[in-house]
Amino acid sequence: EVQLVESGGGLVRAGGSLRLSCAASGFTFDDYAIAWFRQAPGKEREGVSCITSDGTTYYGNSGKGRFTISSDNAKNTVYLQMTSLKPEDTAVYYCAAVEWGFEGSDVENTWERGGDMDYWGKGTLVTVSS
């Protein structure tokens, strides 16, 4: 059974930091890129960051500068380190996986849309108070 389980969300004050984790199981981790998305109430989902199994990283506008994605392939886990958090970072954060590395794969240009993701987690809530 494929599972993506997010953890690490919670309530934090503006300026604080959180580290989210995404634990993957049920598929060959090395064959997939893992991405973080977020969705705030009343807003559309947006891509935060993505990492391929060879360590290549991509950031959406919401993830540039303050967020860092990393991966521990031995643990099949991807992390999102978030710093200098702002109230507008309040959202449910989801991780998702998309197969990559095959002929025709174009994760760099498609991950942020989210529509091509093969698997999704259930999300973890991040609340940033002012």
pLDDT in tens, 67-76: 999 999 999 9
Q: What is the C-alpha to C-alpha distance for residues 130 and 128, in angstroms, rounded to an integer?
A: 7
Is 25 in contact with 95 (CB distance < 8 Å)? no
What confidence category does residue 119 fall into, taking pLDDT thresholds of 50, 70 and 90? very high
Taking 90 as the threshold, does the pLDDT of residue 129 lie above it? Answer: yes
Question: What percentage of the chain exceeds 90 in pLDDT?
Answer: 88
Q: Are 125 and 88 in contact (CB under 8 A)?
A: no
Tell me how far apart the alpha carbons of residues 26 and 17 are, in angstroms, rounded to a whole number.
30
CA distance 33 to 110: 11
Distance CA(120)–CA(95), nearest Å, equals: 6
Residue 32 bridge partners (DSSP)? 99
Alpha helix segments (H runs only) across 3-92 = none
